[in-house]
Amino acid sequence: MTDVQPRSGLKPAGAVIAAGTVTSEAARRRSIAVISHPDAGKSTLTEALALHAHAIDRAGATHGKAGRSGTVSDWSEIERSRGISITSAALQFEYDGHMINLLDTPGHADFSEDTYRVLTAVDAAIMLLDASKGLEPQTLKLFDVCRRRGVPVITFVNKWDRPGKGVLELCDELEQRIGLRPTPLSWPIGEAGRFVGLLDRADGTARTYRKAPGGALLAEQHDFTAADAARELGEDYQTAYDEAHLLEPVDVESFLAGKTTPMLFGAALANIGVRQLLDTVVALAPAPHAHPIDDGAAGEAKPVGGFTRMTDAGVREVDEPFSGFVFKIQAGMDKNHRDHLAYVRVCSGRFERGMVVTHERTGRPFATKYAQSVFGRDRETIEEAFPGDVVGLVNASNLTVGDTLFDADGPHVRFPPMPAFAPEHFAVASVRDPGRSKQFRKAIEQLEQEGVVQVLVSASRGDGSPILAAVGPLQFEVAQFRMEHEFSAVMRLDVMGLSVARMVKPQDLAAVGASSGIEIVRRRDDVMLALFRDIWHVRGFERSHPGLELIALDASED
């Protein structure tokens, strides 16, 4: 393994920062999510980034999906056996004087609720493109969420070690299809599949790579000055140089405004181009900034993105007393302890373990004695955290996704609610062995709290047969798997022929419920829903009952 000096031409902004104060600690933090269509290589890249920052010393995701055993972000049994990420994972590591909070997200559309929640907790995103596939449907959807939330996007074109599309074709796709202008930082020398090395667009230097066997260690590399590269690499270098200069250079302002995207190339599996990406995150991704709050004004609080404020709604500045919100709850991380962990994104102030905070939803005090940092499945006690960090609170059983916590001695704050999705799949759940009913009920409660599935209760079926509601059917599989493996209760699921949920006002309940083929259910927040076969069923009902109002679940960001 060779050392990975020297770095690319980027100079991290504000590398010399006095440590210790909330403002300076926030300034050296970068919180970023990796997003894309399934299989583009997010988990592989997450691991490669940690490898480059020396947070781990060997990549585990190097043997293809089937044999994957040790990917730090894909830790659960079901993820390892299937080779897909079904839930997001957080890693934190130091790099070059900065603290990086990196969130790997699941690409599968069925788990997009989880990915969307993560996007509320980061300040920037790395959008991964598979070199041979370009912009895939789920990537488009996620990019759209970033745009709406004002999350600036860095683009990494992955799998350049394999045959793929042309570089200019990929750039065109970004510009034509999503109106995002790519501004290259690096440029591949040699087309996809016949990859020679990377050109640094800023100074014309080049780096060639030879993959370490199996790709588990950092790739061997060789650096060339611009003059040497032109001589040694010949036409390939000249082509790369000419093409790279057809596009504009990086521009921070338009990047933060979501108009341009710094673009890099590489191969996560072979650890190529990964260091440049890390340097780019440090140099360009915004540090944590003022966070929009839910100030009770009409309409939704709009996000502030990058440095560009897009809202008149109130904000919580990073140097105000501690505040944060729960964006994820995960159980079963530690088999021996059966605990569950609430992931809190710190928005302002210094978090100190043991401090008493107020749980905004209940107004009750909440002790934070068991606070941990998270690294995939590994956790360690932490003493303090700063804006941008993810704090894991253990056995925080009263906490639910979307809840706000704030310093009990500071001013009250509430962050906007989490985006919830309109479910499109419904199934009646029951326990196979009635002797396991207690475990079944506990599991249902747990899975709901984590947001693995939504749980609806129908008066006619009762508590013992809750209706599970999901954005995609894979969520059901996860619920079933976890029910069996964590709670030793086998769950029977009877899929219902229903696909649309609408809110119903209390005064209309009896009338809607009297109509055949419509199921009335209660959601956790006591909202009453009517479940319909399909959208045609809804429209037909509306036509024949003009006096009744059905309200669409518009929280879905589609």
- 433 contact partners, CB below 8 Å, separation of at least 6: 489, 490
- Give the nearest distance from C-beta 167 to ligand GTP in angstroms: 16
Per CB under 6 A, the list member of 12, 60, 106, 286 interacting with ligand GTP is 106
The site partner of 64 among ligand GTP, Mg ion, none (C-beta below 5 to 8 Å per kind) is: ligand GTP
- Give the nearest distance from C-beta 522 to Mg ion in angstroms: 35
CA distances from 50 to 96, 160, 344 (A): 13, 20, 21
Alpha-helix runs per DSSP H in 199-270: 226-244, 252-256
Reading phi first (left if > 0) and then psi (alpha if -120 to 50, else beta), residue 97 is in left
Per CB under 6 A, the list member of 64, 296, 434, 462 interacting with ligand GTP is 64
Q: How far apart are CA 406 and CA 428, in angstroms?
A: 38
- Give the nearest distance from C-beta 63 to ligand GTP in angstroms: 8
The dihedrals phi and psi of 173, each to the nearest 5 degrees, come to -60, -45
165 binds ligand GTP (CB under 6 A): no
- Give the nearest distance from C-beta 219 to ligand GTP in angstroms: 11
CB atoms within 10 A of CB 127: 28
H/E element holding 330?
Answer: strand 323-331
The site partner of 377 among Mg ion, ligand GTP, none (C-beta below 5 to 8 Å per kind) is: none
For Mg ion, give the closer residue by CB, 43 or 112.
Answer: 43
44 binds ligand GTP (CB under 6 A): yes
39 binds ligand GTP (CB under 6 A): yes
Q: How far apart are CA 47 and CA 349, in angstroms?
A: 29
Quick one: which of 280, 283, 277, 260 has its CA closest to 183? Answer: 260
DSSP summary character for residue 405 = E
For Mg ion, give the closer residue by CB, 98 or 108.
Answer: 108
Q: How far apart are CA 15 and CA 248, in angstroms?
A: 26
Q: Identify whether the C-beta of residue 100 lies closer than 8 Å to the C-beta of residue 7.
A: no
Q: Identify whether the C-beta of residue 375 lies closer than 8 Å to the C-beta of residue 72.
A: yes
Q: How far apart are CA 350 and CA 38, in angstroms?
A: 36
Owner of token pair 């599968």? 108
Interface characters, 238-277, with ligand GTP (x: CB under 6 A): -----------------------------xxxx-------
Per CB under 6 A, the list member of 148, 162, 436, 545 interacting with ligand GTP is 162
85 binds ligand GTP (CB under 6 A): yes
43 binds Mg ion (CB under 5 A): yes
For ligand GTP, give the closer residue by CB, 64 or 462.
Answer: 64
206 binds ligand GTP (CB under 6 A): no
- 152-161 exposure pattern, b = at least 16 Cβ within 10 A, e = fewer: bbbbbbbbbb
For ligand GTP, give the closer residue by CB, 474 or 504.
Answer: 474
- Give the nearest distance from C-beta 250 to ligand GTP in angstroms: 23
For Mg ion, give the closer residue by CB, 85 or 358.
Answer: 85
The site partner of 404 among ligand GTP, Mg ion, none (C-beta below 5 to 8 Å per kind) is: none
Judged by the rule CB under 6 A, the positions of this chain that interact with ligand GTP are: 36, 38-44, 61, 64-65, 84-85, 106-108, 158-159, 161-162, 267-270
Judged by the rule CB under 5 A, the positions of this chain that interact with Mg ion are: 42-43, 85
